[in-house]
Structure formats: structure tokens, C-alpha cells
């Protein structure tokens, strides 16, 4: 199973739109949405069957047994995250959104009134529809274990690796933990760049991050005609850095209409969709050449 990861250095570049089109064109047997903070691939690739779901347990959270508590205040004073407070009943409360599960409070408690317990940080979903497998997840708001959950999303495809030729993975924007977890172990990273100053800067950051993994990289520019000057700068940068440049996709109002209708851009006949098909063929050719 080859893994093609689609990334962008920032949000709003059209990364998921491109990923959805590639999945449709490939008729992918396996694909995943690793943007666990805000998954949206399912909006343009509607599933027929209900998913298999399971809870995702991230870091443990602290809880206080009030019947044992001496109210010595050591836990509150030692908590560097400010997760422990005193309520109106003069008892201690733990803010689960602030608790990082470090265990310091349990360590300093002289009567073992504090324990660390498993905590559901999100939900994993696995869809099996028409011969394809779709892995995704939703992280609970405020949870800080997105990288760990991304790894679990990818692992859900592993039992089907003999049935999947190419797995398309829609990654997270930025360069943080979920992106790092997404890159680990993939065969190729396709970066969707935006022709803006911030888009150029963020593209360079994500390229630098991917280079740390020695993962083959290719770049495309979405909505290239919205700023031709910066598009040329992106092409020049790729040429100077020896990075494969696979094509440009124009701005197309019909893309917005297709996405709003819950369709991929290759489900309709539009200029951007036709150009995406060309980029897709070049991408698959590059992937198989590695």
C-alpha cells in the first residue's frame, strides 16, 4: 500500500478539495482524513453505510476523591496548568479541559486522594462502503493529543493494506503535531500551495518539515491566476530547491458551487476539474517513479 499525503502550509488552500478529487479519480480503495481537529472530507465524499466507531483515549485526567481530601492545597499550588480550583462548597474541582494528565497532583497528595483515569479525547470512525475504506476521527475540543489520534486514524487502514493500492490521506494545515504524525511513514507528500505571501511562506515551512522525514515532495498551486507574480515565485523556488512542480489549477467559481452541493470538482465539468485531472495523472506517475 502506497500512501499519498496531501498537505498545505496553511488553511484555505483547497487541500481537501484536491484530496476529494484525487480519491474520486483513483476510485481509491482506502483513504483517510487526518485533520482530526476539523475533519471535512466526508462532506464531499458522502458515505452510504454507518461507520464502525470506537472511543479514542488520549492522556489520562486527574480526579479527586473528596472523601479522602485533607484540603492541604498542595495539588492546587503545584498544578502548573491552573486546572485545580476551590468551588463554592470549599471542595476542589478539576477542569478537565485544562488538565494535562501530568500526574503532579497525584504525586504530591499525601493521602492518595487524586488518581489519573482514562479519558475519552475523541472518536474514531471507519466507513466501509462499496469496496472502499475511509478512516477518520473527531478530536474533542480542547484536547491536546491530535498527533496521537492522527496515528490511530492511519493505523485503521493497516488491516486492509493488501487490498489498497494507493491510500489518499488528507492532512492537517500547518506544521504542528498532526502534520508530523501524518507525514511519518508515507511514500509521498503533495503540497497544495496558495499564491499569496503567507501561502509562499507557509509552503516553505511545510517543505522544511517534510524534508526532516526525507519524504519525496511535489508541489502544485491552486487558484494560481489570483496572483501570477507569486505563482512564478513558487515555481522558481521549487526549481532552485530541486522540488518537483506538478502543475497549476485556476480559480473557478464552479468549484465553490460543487463543494456547496457536496460534490468533488471532478463530479462536474469545469475548468478547474479538468486541470486537476492533469495534475492527478502527473502525481500518480511521480508516485510510481519513486
Q: Which of 14-23, 42-51, 170-179, 255-264 has the highest mean pLDDT?
A: 14-23
The whole-angstrom separation of Cα 122 and Cα 161 is 25
pLDDT bracket for residue 59 (50, 70, 90): confident
Mean pLDDT value of segment 114-139: 94
Task: Tell me if 237 sits within 8 A of 245, measured CB to CB.
Answer: no
- Does 283 share its domain with 219? yes
Give me the percent of the chain exceeding a pLDDT of 70. 100
Do 167 and 218 share a structural domain?
yes
CATH number for the domain that contains residue 100: 3.30.70.20
What CATH number is associated with residue 214?
3.40.50.300
Q: Calculate the average pLDDT of the chain.
A: 94
pLDDT band at 52 (very low <50, low <70, confident <90, very high): very high
**What value does the mean pLDDT take over residues 252-275?**
93
The predicted pLDDT at position 60 comes to 92
Q: For the residues of the chain, what is the DSSP string, one character each?
A: -EEEEEEESSTTSSHHHHHHHHHHHHT-SEEEE--TTS--GGGTS--SSPPEEEEEE-S-EEEE-TTT-----HHHHH-TT--EEE-TTS-EEE-TTT-----HHHHH-TT--EEEE--EEEEEEEEEETTEEEEEEEEPTT---HHHHHHHHHHTTGGGTTT-SEEEEEEEESSSHHHHHHHTT-SEEEEEE-SSHHHHHHHHHHHHHHHTTT--EEEEEETGGG-HHHHHHHHHHHHHHT-EEEEEE---HHHHHHHHTT--TTSS--HHHHHHHHHHHHHHHHHHH-
Q: What is the mean pLDDT of residues 123-147?
A: 90
pLDDT at 32: 98
Residues 266 and 163 in one domain: yes
Grid cell of 257 as nine digits: 458551487
Of 194, 186, 129, nearest to 154 (Cα)? 186
**Same domain for 182 and 76:** no
Q: Are 49 and 132 found together in one domain?
A: yes
* Spatial separation of the C-alpha atoms in residues 182 and 250, rounded to whole Å: 27
pLDDT at 48: 86
pLDDT surpasses 80 at 84: yes
Verify that 91 and 234 share a domain, yes or no: no
Quick one: 89 and 143 in the same domain?
Answer: no
Residues spanned by the domain of 96? 61-117
- 231 and 245 together in one domain: yes
What is the C-alpha separation between 7 and 174, in angstroms, rounded?
Answer: 8
Q: Does one domain contain both 85 and 34? A: no
- Please state the rounded mean pLDDT for residues 47-53: 92
Sign of CA dihedral 167, 152, 265, 272: negative
Give the integer Cα–Cα distance in Å for 87 and 110.
21
* Residues 170, 224 within the same domain: yes
* pLDDT > 80? residue 142: no
Tell me the pTM: 0.90
Asked whether the CA dihedral 142, 148, 153, 159 is positive or negative, the reply is negative
Domain tally for the chain?
2
* pLDDT at 129 (0 to 100): 85
Instruction: Examine the fold and report which residue of 117, 144, 164 is the final residue of a domain before the chain moves on.
Output: 117
Confidence class of residue 146 from pLDDT cuts 50, 70 and 90?
confident
**Domain boundary residue, one of 101, 117, 133:** 117
Q: What is the mean pLDDT of residues 273-288?
A: 97
Looking at residue 5, its pLDDT comes to 98
My answer on whether 153 and 190 are in the same domain is yes
d(C-alpha 286, C-alpha 290), whole Å: 7
130 and 49 in a common domain:
yes
- Residue where one domain finishes, among candidates 70, 88, 117: 117
Amino acid at each position: 500500500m502506497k500512501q499519498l499525503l496531501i498537505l498545505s502550509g496553511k488553511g484555505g488552500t483547497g487541500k481537501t478539495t484536491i484530496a476529494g478529487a484525487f480519491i474520486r479519480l483513483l476510485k481509491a480503495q482506502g483513504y483517510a482524513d487526518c485533520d482530526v481537529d476539523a475533519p471535512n472530507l466526508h462532506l464531499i465524499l458522502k458515505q452510504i453505510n454507518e461507520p464502525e466507531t470506537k472511543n479514542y483515549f488520549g492522556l489520562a485526567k486527574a480526579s479527586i476523591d473528596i472523601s479522602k481530601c485533607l484540603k492541604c492545597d498542595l495539588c492546587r499550588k503545584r498544578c502548573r496548568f491552573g486546572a485545580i480550583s476551590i468551588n463554592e462548597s470549599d471542595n476542589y474541582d478539576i477542569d478537565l479541559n485544562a488538565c494535562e494528565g501530568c500526574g503532579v497532583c497525584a504525586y504530591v497528595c499525601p493521602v492518595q486522594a487524586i488518581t489519573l483515569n482514562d479519558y475519552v479525547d475523541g472518536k474514531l470512525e471507519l466507513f466501509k462502503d462499496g469496496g472502499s475504506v475511509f478512516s477518520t476521527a473527531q478530536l474533542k475540543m480542547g484536547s491536546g493529543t491530535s498527533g496521537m489520534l492522527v496515528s490511530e486514524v492511519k493505523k485503521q487502514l493497516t488491516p486492509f493494506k493488501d487490498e489498497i493500492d494507493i491510500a489518499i490521506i488528507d492532512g492537517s494545515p500547518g506544521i504542528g503535531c498532526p502534520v508530523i504524525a501524518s507525514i511519518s511513514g508515507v511514500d509521498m507528500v503533495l503540497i497544495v500551495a496558495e499564491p499569496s505571501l503567507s501561502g509562499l511562506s507557509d509552503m516553505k515551512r511545510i517543505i522544511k518539515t517534510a524534508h526532516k522525514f526525507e519524504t519525496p515532495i511535489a508541489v502544485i498551486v491552486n487558484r494560481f491566476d489570483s496572483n501570477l507574480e507569486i505563482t512564478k515565485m513558487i515555481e522558481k523556488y521549487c526549481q532552485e530547491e530541486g522540488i518537483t512542480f506538478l502543475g497549476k489549477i485556476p480559480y473557478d467559481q464552479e468549484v465553490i458551487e460543487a463543494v456547496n452541493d457536496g460534490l468533488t470538482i471532478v463530479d462536474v465539468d469545469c475548468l478547474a476539474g479538468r486541470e486537476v485531472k492533469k495534475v492527478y495523472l502527473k502525481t500518480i506517475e511521480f508516485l510510481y517513479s519513486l
